[in-house]
């Protein structure tokens, strides 16, 4: 009788729980989220925080798919089962070797099919508590699209605006450190938002993964309180700001940062040190401005770059390109600034003071 009871308890503990939503409360209930798709699929997009434990490698997935199309379903499943068994065995030997018996894992693949079911079955038979995401990755993607593109309700955002070189990102980070809530769009996009904004050592995420991270971050914020975001164009490098957020930003209240152009030039040289030290990157960025300026102006910027007159180059770029562009966008904006913060410098005290002024402005607005 005792053995029968123990077996029943084991079977109940090893049951696979179907999970049909991907809201934040559900996802945080698992010790790990495991994406069993191929590395290529995972790299394009995945649930933020998920671990990639593929049951088919990139090449194995191609091979199985080819057999399925050109030969037979049975043959593809036989070959696939062999690869899946080998790969799950490796994951048991390495990743799962030190996982606690009480751990709870959420498993997903592309559509909640054979790959995730295979992994879930094995792990549940071992005794771990398993959630199987119904609809797989596609369930997550549908929520992201619905939340960022189809939902018409505006986000409660406030824009942090200012001309190029006004340290908006640094101020945003200090604002968060002081207790404010914000979303750093440039950090999510891995880009600083201008033709010179690409990082030399960091690749931008795909559009889908940009949206996944963005929704993941937004969903963690208190939607009833304002969320500070830096003013951007509708594209940050190659990443497009989704419709719902972009429309919210266009009509959002604005806090503007101002600073002397000389101070901005010196700051930009330091902030973009990775570009400044890479002559090829500077040259490529200048060339991307060709559609907007004369050959004479483009060559003048190249000449300043070759002479390593970086502060003069930064000042000229702001005077001839960035400041006029900013002024045009400011005239087209639907709202006027609710406060203008003037930077006396870029030292610690000045940046902290700017962040404090922003917090005071938002708190005062909330009390109204």
CA distance 53 to 310: 46
Give the Å distances, CA to CA, from 253 to 231, 243, 244, 362. 11, 18, 16, 10
Contact (Cβ atoms closer than 8 angstroms) between residue 239 and residue 185: no
Residue indicated by tokens 């798709």: 37
DSSP string, 58-124: HHHHHHHHHHHHHT-HHHHHHHHHHHHHHHHHHHHHTGGGG--TT-EEEEE-SSS-HHHHHHHHHHH
CA distance 216 to 146: 13
Kindly calculate the radius of gyration of the chain based on its CA atoms and give it in whole angstroms.
26
CA distance 234 to 245: 10
User: Which pair of structure tokens corresponds to residue 130?
Assistant: 């398993």
Give the Å distances, CA to CA, from 62 to 56, 66, 67, 84. 9, 6, 9, 14
- Phi, psi at 237, each rounded to 5°: 65, -125
Active site residues: 109
User: Which pair of structure tokens corresponds to residue 202?
Assistant: 């960091």
Residue indicated by tokens 């071992």: 126
Contact (Cβ atoms closer than 8 angstroms) between residue 158 and residue 255: yes
- Other Cβ atoms less than 10 A from the Cβ of 362: the count is 21
Sheet bearing 254-258, strands edge to edge: 182-183, 227-230, 157-162, 254-258, 337-342
């Amino acid at each position: 009788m005792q053995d029968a009871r123990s077996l029943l308890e084991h079977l109940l503990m090893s049951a696979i729980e179907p999970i049909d939503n991907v809201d934040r409360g559900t996802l945080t209930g698992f010790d790990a989220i495991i994406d069993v798709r191929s590395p290529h699929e995972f790299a394009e997009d995945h649930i933020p925080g998920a671990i990639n434990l593929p049951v088919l490698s990139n090449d194995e997935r191609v091979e199985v798919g080819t057999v399925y199309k050109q030969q037979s379903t049975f043959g593809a499943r036989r070959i696939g089962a062999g690869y899946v068994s080998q790969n799950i065995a490796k994951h048991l030997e390495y990743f799962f070797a030190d996982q606690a018996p009480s751990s709870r894992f959420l498993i997903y693949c592309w559509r909640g099919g054979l790959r995730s079911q295979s992994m879930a079955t094995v792990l549940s038979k071992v005794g771990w508590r398993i959630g199987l995401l119904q609809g797989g990755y596609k369930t997550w993607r549908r929520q992201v699209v619905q939340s960022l593109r189809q939902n018409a309700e505006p986000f409660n955002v406030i824009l942090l605006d200012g001309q190029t070189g006004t340290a908006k990102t640094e101020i945003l980070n200090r604002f968060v450190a002081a207790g404010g809530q914000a979303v750093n769009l440039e950090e999510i996009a891995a880009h600083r938002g201008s033709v010179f904004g690409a990082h030399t050592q960091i690749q931008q995420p795909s559009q889908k993964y940009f949206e996944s991270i963005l929704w993941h971050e937004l969903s963690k914020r208190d939607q009833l309180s304002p969320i500070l975001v830096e003013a951007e164009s509708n594209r940050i490098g190659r990443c497009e700001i989704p419709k719902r957020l972009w429309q919210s930003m266009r009509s959002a209240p604005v806090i503007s940062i101002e600073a002397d152009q000389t101070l901005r030039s010196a700051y930009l040289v330091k902030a973009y040190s990775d570009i400044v030290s890479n002559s090829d990157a500077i040259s490529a960025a200048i060339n991307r401005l060709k559609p907007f300026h004369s050959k004479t102006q483009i060559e003048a910027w190249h000449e300043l770059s070759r002479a390593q007159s970086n502060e003069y180059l930064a000042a000229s770029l702001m005077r001839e390109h960035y400041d006029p562009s900013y002024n045009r966008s400011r005239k087209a904006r639907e709202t006027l600034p609710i406060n203008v913060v003037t930077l006396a410098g870029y030292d610690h005290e000045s940046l902290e003071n700017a962040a404090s002024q922003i917090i005071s402005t938002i708190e005062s607005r909330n009390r109204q």
